[in-house]
Structure 1
């Protein structure tokens, strides 16, 4: 299959004993594909299964044919909407199932010789779980226009254990129109997972996301907290390059330089981070409160602020440092620009635009912001908990990687209040 047409709807395994039945409708004849009985159909959850998670899917597998229809109804006869996974391994309800309800799944399969089989299974979903819910946050809001570097980011508190990440990742769905397939990648501590394509999103792309985690068993002691979804689009291509050597911000749109802006970055004791960041938030006005933070202790109101990291690095108006901008670094880690330049930038940029900072004293820490672009594609896909589709796998490594190259990293918790400098 052409990888450009792939949807990012990954396979799921439902932990239930399968019901394996071979057979046809009344017209079955000896010699039909799949044996004399026609196509052999496997359905999960198995007949009579109880305490099924509300995140459950109808597992479907056929020998000697293919699934041609799935119908799921509740105990009041209401039909549940859903769709099959691309690989045909299961049928996914569009919303979580209801707690403590009985459901009947009817799976129809057609054999290679035209024979059909219909199999039904009835199961009961679990009541409210007594396990602790892991809090998830989807950093992708509906009805927005994002920049071309916008990663789909899901954050977790506490982090997802390594052994449970594949199960969680199977319940994270992304569709793009036009198709532009990508992959998920976890931070080492499991507190964030990012989805992006090998290259930036094409302007005009529509992206729909679902984090279908409600009731999902996560390890032995946790469950997922909610089923979240959003749909938005990608706007114009804008990128900012910040060079510490020249103390200038170069602003590009569609690859063309629009303007250069003098900047003052973090002073030696509080340096700015070097790396590839993404604009996360935009504020017309906000307050930086660094009391209790190292090298902080001040409260200041700022205008036209754009967040780059959880640690409090922003691009913002700083009229008090205009004499230093373009010459000297005097900030607490932020990118200080003039009032006029900050106001102009607010009208150009979008959440999701790429900001690249180079030449400072410290590298950007993985997870300090939406750092999905701070590694190349070959490193990024190593963070997936599931096999990456063949067309998205990195090229074979012809020589040993640099000994300093590592995948993943730790993620500081998102700052509860705005800080900067």
Structure 2
């Protein structure tokens, strides 16, 4: 199976000659009926069935074929306008490039061609449901367009409220990723359903273009909710950069293209507020921000510069001139990675959102979902979190780890309120 097309997003429309409307689905062309000695045309079923009403706005045109493959789709609305889209690689459906409009009538004409060249065409007309009135699940795509991300950048979609297990397959089926050059990957859910990540077995290759679509607008989610919006973004992957932080030595190694380019003394979280050990990803960057932990057991308010978020819980790498005397020897922070003001400023020019940050040797392990934790498990463990079958070619563990990395570029959508220390 060519996985490049499985997650294809770019809009394509292919045309077929219009036919007169038939019964439940349009009947075969008379020229396609097998004559004596002529090969039988393929069997083709198209859904939704003809005259179906109240079809969800997220509907796709289902195409089931025996003895051939779909070779043409013409999809139009009730004003005669073409609806752009393209087929899934497995041939199970044709996916409109945007959500359908409420209370509109659409016509799909599908042609399948057999190996002998004989064709079958089916036509169906259906009407979409009114605008949904059920509560919408808020989705956030943490992958903005026209940015350059690090090589560990997972495509992340977050949900509020979380998606229940029984609805995750339907949601995941409406999440699409295309990479150029091709580097197939898989989706994996955080156990509580609050986030789902997409990554490849290895880190992204520098220069890769990634196109994402979270086509959730109008999607029925369980019995009582619907998806809120349809979001798309295209961005690129830049050069390889990674940060490796060792609590034993109190040093950060900055790795670029597989080579250590600088070592920086650090002060990590003190025993009562330890830094998490694990594989994290830089989530956002701030030249200046305020850490406000009022309401916590250890309340404080402090302005910091050159801060890079690693977790939702408020762990950052940031400049901490007040702890420079401790950096390289003693942990005194509230869980953040403290570096000197000069080092923090330098790091801001080297790192980017999507860089891998590995911390080892601290008192606590990184919690699943506390940040973009897609790399904190093995590939074999990661694919177990998919709600849909993972292609067999993606199941083996990678044998040769790629160098992690990152680049210059932008930041995804804002994260929750800032804390740190």
Could you report, residue by residue, the CA deviation over 1:177-217 in whole angstroms, capped at 9, with x for unpaired residues?
Answer: 00000000001110000000000000000000000000001
Q: Equivalents in 2 of 1:89, 1:161: separation in Å?
A: 25
Residue 220 of structure 1: how far off its partner (Å): 0.6
* 1:48 Cα deviation from its structure 2 partner: 0.5
Distance 1:174 1:110, change over 3 A: same
Give the equivalent residue in structure 2 for 1:232.
235
Matches within 5 A, 1:276-295: 276-295=279-298
SS of residue paired to 1:80: coil
1:47-196 matches, cutoff 5 A = 47-196=50-199
Distance (whole Å) between structure 1 residues aligned to residue 415 and residue 180 of structure 2: 34
Q: What residue number does 2:20 align with?
A: none
Conserved? CA contact 2:7–2:88, under 8 Å = no
CA-based RMSD of the aligned residues comes to 1.9
CA deviations 1:277-310 (Å, max 9, x no partner) are 0000000000000101232x11110000000000
CA deviation after TM superposition for structure 1 residue 320, in Å: 0.3
CA deviation map 1:231-275 (0-9, x unaligned): 000001100000000000000001000000000000000000000
Q: Residues 33 and 111 of structure 1 are in contact (CA less than 8 Å); yes or no, is this contact kept in structure 2?
A: no
Name 1:205's counterpart in structure 2.
Answer: 208
Q: Of 366, 386, 401, which residue of structure 1 is paired with 2:368?
A: 366
Aligned CA distance change for structure 1 residues 34 and 190 (closer, same or farther; 3 Å): farther
Structure 2 equivalent of residue 409 of structure 1: none
Query: Which position in structure 1 is the counterpart of 2:391?
Result: 389
Could you tell me how far 1:66 is from its partner in structure 2? Answer: 1.6
TM-score normalised by L of structure 2: 0.90
Distance 1:105 1:20, change over 3 A: closer
Q: Give the equivalent residue in structure 2 for 1:265.
A: 268
Map 1:242-391 → 2, pairs under 5 A: 242-295=245-298, 297-391=299-393
Residue 2 of structure 1 deviates from its aligned partner by 5.9
Structure 2: how far apart are the matches of 1:140 and 1:58? 28
Any stretches of 5+ residues in structure 2 without a counterpart?
10-22, 398-413
May I ask how many residue pairs the two structures share in their alignment? Answer: 393
Q: Tell me the distance in 2 between the aligned counterparts of 1:204 and 1:213.
A: 28
TM-score by length of 1: 0.90
Query: Which residue does the alignment assign to 2:35?
Result: 30
- The answer to whether residue 418 in structure 2 is matched with residue 418 in structure 1 is yes
CA distance in 2, matches of 1:6, 1:108: 19
With a CA cutoff of 8 Å and minimum separation of 6, indicate the structure with the bigger relative contact order: 2
Question: Structure 2: how far apart are the matches of 1:54 and 1:32?
Answer: 44
SS of residue in 2 equivalent to 1:340:
helix
